[in-house]
Amino acid sequence: GVSPAVSPTVPPRHMDSVLDILDALESPARGGSPGAAAALVRRLGVCSTPGCRAVLGGPLGTPERPPALTPGQWQLLTELLHHDPATPELGAVLAPDGSTVALGPLLAGIEAGLRSGGFGRPLPTLDPPADPLWAVTITEALGTSFLLAQGSDHNATALGPGGCWDDVENPQNYTLRGPPSPVPDPVAIGAMDGAVLGARLARGPLPVAELLRGYYGTGNGSEVGRPPSSYRRRNFGALAGQGRLEKEVAAVLELLRTLSPTSELLRDVGTQEVAAVAHRAAREFSERYV
């Protein structure tokens, strides 16, 4: 007789589970290599938006489960990177600092950082010029969100909401506290982390699992002091200062004007209006998150 299909044991949605997956992919002992995680993540479709795909490229067909990963780990990774704008909570994990982080913008920022630091294929030169690291982490999502909110009725929200986990020890389900904007809290947090870590990798490559473990700390609470991730607002604020975020939101909106299908969204939006949207987006994002 045929044995019934056993559903794999899916690890909890915790950053430690993601680190275990990256360790397995990058460990030479298990047939992994330093760029394996970034390459696999891109093949799984870390980019679901026109701007991100213009920077990092689109998915390259459906990959098979690498032998280094258990079926449960593979299921978790594919769920975390499966983009459905209606259910952004499926892409989030709980970090040791207590924050909830969307994996997509975090890993997109890491790949952009690695590639701008000379590891892997070089990044394309964007025309009109927008910073690739900012585009794949925060500015495309932020600019699009504020553009859409302004075009709809006035109670459309452009940021948030937050949410809560079913169980902090064994996080499996994250529920948002309302209908999601294009930038719910976990996406904002994952984007800030992706920008901070991508900027670090642009200065020289490091193994991704090692970088993330140092940044988030580990979940057992034995380490002394706060992990660097708990200072993300300050560190992102330093990158985004002097109007940098506003400038990059405006730049990515001009880039989206040249891409399909977003060109349609920007068809009747003039340059001054783009500047106004960028100003408002940067101000409200900074007030809420930075």
Q: pLDDT by residue (tens digit) across 121-142? A: 899 999 889 999 999 999 999 9
Q: How far is CA 79 from the centre of its chain?
A: 14
Q: Is beta strand 100-102 parallel, antiparallel or unpaired with respect to 92-94?
A: antiparallel
Q: Nearest to residue 216, comparing CAs of 231, 206, 205?
A: 231
Cα separation, 49 vs 144, whole angstroms:
10
Average pLDDT score over the chain: 90
SS3 6: coil
Range of the domain at 71: 15-289
- Does 9 map to a domain? no
- Do you know the residue count of the chain? 290
Number of domains observed in the structure of the chain? 1
Q: How far is CA 197 from the centre of its chain?
A: 11
- Who has greater pLDDT, 258 or 86? 258
Binned at pLDDT 50, 70 and 90, residue 58 comes out as confident
Cα separation, 189 vs 187, whole angstroms:
5
* Residue 153, CA atoms < 13 Å, CB-side half-sphere: 1
Contact 259, 140 (CB under 8 A): no
The pTM assigned to this predicted structure is 0.93
The β-bridge partners of 163 are 176
The β-bridge partners of 165 are 174
- Does 4 map to a domain? no
SS3 94: strand
- Does 6 map to a domain? no
- Does 8 map to a domain? no
Give the pLDDT of residue 221. Answer: 52
- Given a cut of 70, whether residue 171 has pLDDT beyond it is yes
User: Taking each helix axis from N to C terminus, what angle separates 185-201 and 103-116, rounded to the nearest 10 degrees?
Assistant: 20
Contact 215, 265 (CB under 8 A): no
Query: Given the structure tokens 């920007």, which residue do they identify?
Result: 266
Contact 184, 84 (CB under 8 A): no
Rg, the chain, Cα only: 19
- Does 5 map to a domain? no
- Does 7 map to a domain? no
- Does 135 map to a domain? yes
- Given a cut of 90, whether residue 42 has pLDDT beyond it is no
For the segment 186-191, the average pLDDT, to the nearest whole number, is: 97
Cβ contacts of 117 within 8 Å, gap of 6 or more:
201, 202, 203, 204, 205
Cα separation, 15 vs 32, whole angstroms:
20
Give the pLDDT of residue 47. Answer: 86
- Does 119 map to a domain? yes
